[in-house]
Structure 1
């Protein structure tokens, strides 16, 4: 092999080594770039999640406190608190449309009216008045 061929082979090998080193350096740089962007995105995500959690907590906390206060009021409420019951064809049919019908429950007991506290047995109450 002549000298110029050896020199050319040496130049080609040197050039191949330099190109390989260049691409290895580029690979290292790209890897470092991806690591950096991954770290930045994790930090951004962490800070956003933290801020959103704080914001949601600031918004929902007053509502939850109000709900818990209402729940305490409902639990503390007297179970015997009066409520009304309408006269129907199934329950107290003699009282439907009667002016004397009271129809409130007190302590679990229905007060139908002053004349007949427990209601009338059949459909023709003698004290029925148009309401």
Structure 2
């Protein structure tokens, strides 16, 4: 859980990378409508949200070079789509977020983490 690593104040007024087409549900008695993407060290002792670069716009869609398509309005949890893509999510040796080696890109550049070679969930 992200709550072990970040307080609500750590996330307030901060740009983060989100998956916004997850099915809404209650977490800790609060309605959740998105999933914060986080980088995690190998031993899971350090977890932090992925950071869009300065100049990225709130609500901007992250793109992946060479991958086209329209996202589903709401992911069907029964299809386990997130479980299918998470093995391909990681940061490179410079902390740049990637999907199968393709950078998470915004209009201002790639999303990053201070944790190199981390898994992303």
TM class by shorter chain equals under 0.3
Indicate the structure with greater helix content. 1
Indicate the structure with greater strand content. 2
TM-score normalised by L of structure 2: 0.20
- With a CA cutoff of 8 Å and minimum separation of 6, indicate the structure with the bigger relative contact order: 2
TM-score normalised by L of structure 1: 0.19
